[in-house]
Amino acid sequence: MNSSQPDTKDFPYWLLLAATIGLYLGFRVYTDELYSQVISTVSRGITVTIFVTVVAFFSASLVGLVLAVGSLSRFLVLRQLSRFYIEIIRGVPILVLLIYIAFVGTPALVVAINWIGEPLGLDPMKTRDVSLLWRAITALTIGYSAFIAEVFRAGIQSVEPGQIEAAKALGLNGWQRFRLIIFPQAIRTILPPLGNDFIALIKDSSLVSVLGVADIAQLGKIYSAGSYKYLETYNIVAYIYLLMTITLSLALRRIESKMQAEKKG
pTM of this prediction? 0.87
pLDDT tens digit sequence for 160-175: 888 778 878 877 887 7
Domains of the chain (ranges; CATH) run 34-264 (1.10.3720.10)
Q: Residues 55, 61, 66, CA angle at the centre, nearest 5°?
A: 130
pLDDT at 1 over 70: no
Residue 144 and residue 64 in contact, taking contact as beta carbons nearer than 8 Å:
yes
What is the pLDDT confidence band of residue 8, given thresholds at 50, 70 and 90? Answer: low
Question: Are 151 and 64 contacting, i.e. CB atoms less than 8 angstroms apart?
Answer: yes
User: What stretches of the chain adopt beta strand conformation (E)?
Assistant: none
Angle subtended by helix axes 76-90 and 46-71, to nearest 10 = 140
3-state secondary structure of 9: coil
pLDDT at residue number 128: 86
pLDDT of residue 7: 54
